[in-house]
Amino acid sequence: MDFLTVSNVHHTYFSKKAVTEALSNIHLSIEKGEFVSFIGPSGCGKTTLLSIIAGLFEPTVGSVKIEGQEVFGNDSLSIGYMLQQDYLFPWKTIEENITLGLKLQNKEKEDQLLASKLLNDVGLPTIEKKYPRELSGGMRQRVALARTLAVDPKILLLDEPFSALDYQSKLKLEDLVSKMLKEYGKTAILVTHDIGEAIAMSDRIFLFSPRPGRLYRTFEVPEEIRKLTPFEARGHSSYSSLFQIIWKELESLEQQ
Amino acid sequence: MNNNKLHEQFIQSLVKEKRWVKFYQLLILVAFFAMWEIASNLRWIDPLIFSSPSKVYTLFINNVADGTLFVHISYTLFETVLGFIIGTLLGTILAAVLWWSPFLSKVLDPYLVILNAMPKVALGPILIVAMGPGMGSIITMGAIISVIISTIVIYTSFRNVDANYLKVLQTFNASRAQMFKEAVLPASFPTIISTLKVNVGLSWVGVIVGEFLVSSKGLGYLIIYGFQVFNFNLVLMSLVIIAVFATIMYQLVELLEKKLIKNG
């Protein structure tokens, strides 16, 4: 059975002046442990779709289910969401930031151990008592990853989490995220503008067309790239041919 | 030269600058009182109205000696501190209620504007008749003068908390109360502190005016009494004491600020 199913989702934004159709007739399904990317020109509704999958709001029509459970208004379902910036709480220590999700869900017991284990895993041991402002952008985003993983989410939703970083930090973080997700056996959806990033990290890529957002094409990433780390994948020969194909599709979408 | 030595020099220059700042601050204070004394003695200003530091000091010593001053100070101080705390606390609670219910905040918006624009001290006579001419109505004056503006400022700060922090909490299935406690309130501490600083001044105004109207004790009473019997030594002494205690309150708020906001 599919792990995540999005069926017949339409979403429309209403404002005083306008009615904007953001998503139209979206059907897709993702398997457990799979890493998929949503790409597309701006205005294709990919972030809207991600928010709907996160259960942040209800789609106008349609439903999103994880393991058969409706996501919207379901408090028992835990979802990890990473934003473009880390949004660590500046008045909390790193440890408090990481264990925030557990605290909110009243599962505080093994907090401290978990925090230091996760920090170790993301390569930042012994910074529990520091404050976010003492860390660099890349380090903060790694802490945000640890915070997201702390609640043991069923699925990770990554909303361009690498886009605000410098190139080197971005490549390193891609490798780290990819490794951690494999280790923890997590399913993940990445929203990105960067075709290369999508290819390097994903098993499948969903390309969306804009106004209203529709699922335009799905690409399978070849097996030989999937096995590699994102950094190695960028150097593989199949990488550039897939890049060219997606690039052309994206170009043609933008000209429409 | 090594870095340690340079660092030492840097620290020293900081210390030096701080010392000069303190020196000039003290100089202004001394010069002010000296000029006041001289101007009064040489009759550049009318000593009957403007008194002089030496007369104020003598009066102060006498009043401390006969124990009357202490009663007045403690009355006013108690009223002011209570009015200040009630005003800010109530303002924060009201702001929280408005944040909780956007609908209510839309409904109440024009009334907040009206209440804020109205001169609160004008309510004094009504308060005194309604609550009786005692401490209760004076404390209420001290509180009422700051509560609406606190509500407006703090509510604005609550609303301006970056929505992405709330989004993070929402993905953890946080309740609205948890969002308030974990993000909205702590993010607004700097604003609440600056409201406190403003309210220090406001609550003194409320209490002194309240005492003008009704009281038979307190520094406001001393001022109005001094005015009636044309004893301006008394008026100026009260003013100096108010200045001292208002400053102390302000410093306490700054201390609280340092405790509350550790992470800049």
| Dist. CA A76–CA A255, nearest whole Å | 44
pLDDT of B19 higher than 90: yes
Residue B216 neighbours by CB distance under 10 Å: 9
Chain B: nearest CA to A10, how far in angstroms? 22
Q: What is the mean pLDDT of residues B64-87?
A: 91
* pLDDT tens digit sequence for A126-163: 777 788 888 887 788 888 888 888 887 888 888 888 88
pLDDT tens-place string over residues A82-121 = 888 888 888 888 878 888 877 777 766 666 677 777 777 7
Write down the pTM of the prediction: 0.81
Q: At what angle do helices A167-184 and A137-150 cross, to 10 degrees?
A: 20
Which of A66, A71, A57, A52 is closest to A9 using CA atoms?
A52
What was the pLDDT predicted at A172? 82
Q: Which tens digits make up the pLDDT trace of B218-227?
A: 899 999 999 9
Which structure tokens are listed for B69?
Answer: 């001053």
| Helix pair angle (B53-65, B232-260), 10° resolution | 80
- Contacts B171 to A, Cβ<8 Å: 54, 56, 79-81, 157
**Cβ atoms of residues A158 and A193 within 8 Å:** no
- pLDDT for B130 beyond 90: no
Beta bridge partners of A179: none
CATH 3.40.50.300 fits A4-77+154-255, yes or no: yes
Nearest chain A residue (CA) to B178: A104
A119 against B166, higher pLDDT:
B166
Q: Name the average pLDDT for chain B.
A: 89
Q: Identify the weakest region by mean pLDDT among A70-74, A86-90, A130-134, A175-179.
A: A70-74
Task: Using a pLDDT cut of 90, give the percent of chain B over it.
Answer: 39
ipTM of the complex: 0.82
pLDDT for res A111? 64
Nearest-CA neighbor of A44 among A223, A220, A242, A256?
A: A256
Distance from CA of A91 to the nearest CA of B (A): 6
On whether any CB of chain A is under 8 Å from the CB of B256, the answer is no
Mutate to test the interface with B, among A51, A76, A104 (most CBs of B within 10 A): A104
Measured torsion, CA atoms of residues A197, A184, A96, A103, in degrees rounded to the nearest 10:
120
**Which whole-number Å values give the CA distances from A118 to A128, A144, A151, in the listed order?**
11, 11, 11
Pull the structure tokens for residue A118.
Answer: 């996760």
For residues A8 and A46, what is the distance between their CA atoms, to the nearest angstrom? 15
Where residue A152 falls (left for φ over 0; alpha for ψ -120 to 50; beta otherwise) is left
Q: What is the pLDDT of residue A199?
A: 83
Q: Closest by alpha carbon to B80, among B234, B199, B197?
A: B199
CB contact under 8 A, A56 and B171: yes
- Cβ atoms of B110 and B117 within 8 Å: the answer is no
Of B199, B184, B209, B208, residue with least CA distance to B148: B199
Instruction: Confirm if B160 and B99 have CB atoms less than 8 A apart.
Output: no
DSSP category for residue B181: I
pLDDT score of A112? 65
Task: State residue B16's pLDDT score.
Answer: 92
Tokens 């290369």 correspond to: A196
In this prediction, residue B28 carries a pLDDT of 96
Q: Which residue of A has its CA nearest to B172?
A: A101
DSSP B121: G
Q: Which two tokens stand for residue A39?
A: 């790409």
Taking Cα atoms as reference points, which of A67, A73, A35 lies closest to residue A54?
Answer: A73
CB A34 within 8 A of CB A203: yes
Structure tokens given for B140? 């209420």
- Residues for chain B: how many in total? 264
The stretch A202-223 carries a mean pLDDT of 82
- Tokens 């609303």 locate to B159
For residue A42, the distance in angstroms to the closest alpha carbon of chain B comes to 20
The CATH code belonging to domain B53-260 is 1.10.3720.10
Evaluated on CA atoms A199, A87, B160, B171, the torsion sign reads positive
Query: Distance (Å, rounded) from C-alpha A135 to C-alpha A140?
Result: 6
Hey, what amino acid is at B17? E
